[in-house]
Amino acid sequence: MKTEILGIQFDDLTRQEAAQRGAELLAEDRFHYVVTPNPEFLLAAERDPEFRAVLNGADLVLPDGIGVVYSAKILGTPLKERVPGIEFATDMLACLNERKGRLYLLGAKPGVAQEAGRRILEQYPGIVLCGTHDGYFKDEEAVLLEVAAAQPDLLFVCLGAPKQEKWMARWGRHTGARLAIGLGGCLDVFAGNVERAPERWQKLGLEWAYRLKKEPRRIGRMAKLPLVLVKAAGERAKGGHKGGKD
């Protein structure tokens, strides 16, 4: 079941259902990609039809931001819950650990993916870390060849949006991976460079506020976010929202 929010078709799943679906994708012997849009993605996709098509072409579209969940509510088609990319990624690591599968980490500043990998292996010793590469490269094809040579099952692509989604849609099926996930700043979190909000803030839907407190320079980016809610309200008032569809 898909729920449309400002032109993007979201999967309406709980975290557990998303993990179950992700495990199925990881078991299938072909390429899949997962996107985790937040409100910034929705605004960018309005102006960028290629980005919108790439998001809607994903095998799973998970609502990462509380702003997406609020927008869905305003539109009268509430989603079951927020499924943060980092939580889905953690569930996929646990699944890969059981399968003794291969992980490749692509993205972030030099050194971050290696440190993230080191920490992930401490927690999931069954995983084979088959490669890492930083996210500041010019030659997309050369990086693709490196990833493909490493033969990953699971690939985290952390280049920021829309670069990571476009990279997955363009090159993903040539990597030989079964599952790629676009995860923004998650490698910084796995590496221990950026802290997630304490659970209490997360439960209150205030993870964005905690992040702003820690990184005040994000105010410019975040100031645009209420616009998503205003747009959702406008669409609802116009009666133009078609809501969920199978």
Residues in contact with ligand UDP by the rule CB under 6 A: 107-109, 135-136, 158-160, 163, 184-185, 187-188
**What single letter denotes the amino acid at residue 169?**
A
Q: Which is nearer to ligand UDP, 51 or 77 (CB)?
A: 51
In the complex, minimum distance from the CB of residue 227 to ligand UDP, in angstroms, rounded to a whole number: 16
In the complex, minimum distance from the CB of residue 93 to ligand UDP, in angstroms, rounded to a whole number: 18
Output the DSSP codes for 62-129.
Answer: ---SHHHHHHHHHTT---S----HHHHHHHHHHHHHHHT-EEEEEESSTTHHHHHHHHHHHH-TT-EE
Q: Which is nearer to ligand UDP, 75 or 120 (CB)?
A: 120
Q: Which is nearer to ligand UDP, 75 or 169 (CB)?
A: 169
Q: Which is nearer to ligand UDP, 182 or 244 (CB)?
A: 182
CB-based burial label for 146 (10 Å; 0-12, 13-18, 19+): middle
Q: Which is nearer to ligand UDP, 217 or 242 (CB)?
A: 217
In the complex, minimum distance from the CB of residue 109 to ligand UDP, in angstroms, rounded to a whole number: 5
What CA–CA distances, in Å, run from 191 to 10, 29, 112, 113, 223?
Answer: 29, 29, 6, 7, 28
In the complex, minimum distance from the CB of residue 17 to ligand UDP, in angstroms, rounded to a whole number: 22
In the complex, minimum distance from the CB of residue 28 to ligand UDP, in angstroms, rounded to a whole number: 26
Listed in sequence order, the residues at least 6 apart from 127 whose beta carbon sits closer than 8 Å to its beta carbon are 93, 96, 97, 100, 101, 102, 103, 120, 121
CA dist., res. 129 & res. 64, Å (int): 26
Q: Which is nearer to ligand UDP, 78 or 160 (CB)?
A: 160
In the complex, minimum distance from the CB of residue 9 to ligand UDP, in angstroms, rounded to a whole number: 20
